[in-house]
Structure 1
Amino acid sequence: VEAFADALEVVPRTLAENAGLDPIDSLVDLRARHDGGEFGAGLDAYTGDVIDMEAEGVVEPLRVKTQAIESATEAAVMILRIDDVIAAGDLKGGGSDDDGDEGGPGGAPGGMGGMGGMGGMGGAM
């Protein structure tokens, strides 16, 4: 959960850095305001202050933010599941295709021998 919270803080941290502000001080101020119950507090990139964004008229549709966070979370969970499957394969000894043998993938040879009259299929015409 802490890593997820850290990931969400990338947005205000990046905003502070791009505005030429100290990202650590900005995040400390923002966290303090949020901990104090001011959930509408945000970073004003022009002044460097943490202000009440709703009072300043800075609002965005909740659904857009919710969808973006849900999509990012689903992608992260999917990557973690894939990593778990790969790790489980490595533990069983089947996680690597590199068995030292040379050559390409197996399979039937090209063409369909014995079927004469079928141009391009490897048989006699």
Structure 2
Amino acid sequence: MVPKTLAENAGLNAMEIISSLYAEHASGNTKVGIDLDEGFFALKYAADAACTVLRVDQIIMAKPAGGPKRDPPAGMDED
């Protein structure tokens, strides 16, 4: 269950990963696992998207709210 979920969350083909793990374990190589360094795009793209959203949010929050400043009409008091 864990390798399948890990492979799916990593954006890999879960069936291919599970079958290769079974084959390796059947041949006696029990110290194998899923290589997430190659092909782990889901986490990388999610982190990139989050950073982009945060950068855009910083840009929006840095700008003052409201429209252009205008002078009050002539002859009007401040109160």
Higher strand share: 1
- Superposition TM-score, scaled by structure 1 size: 0.30
Query: RCO greater where, 1 or 2, for CA within 8 Å and sep 6 or more?
Result: 2
Higher helix share: 2
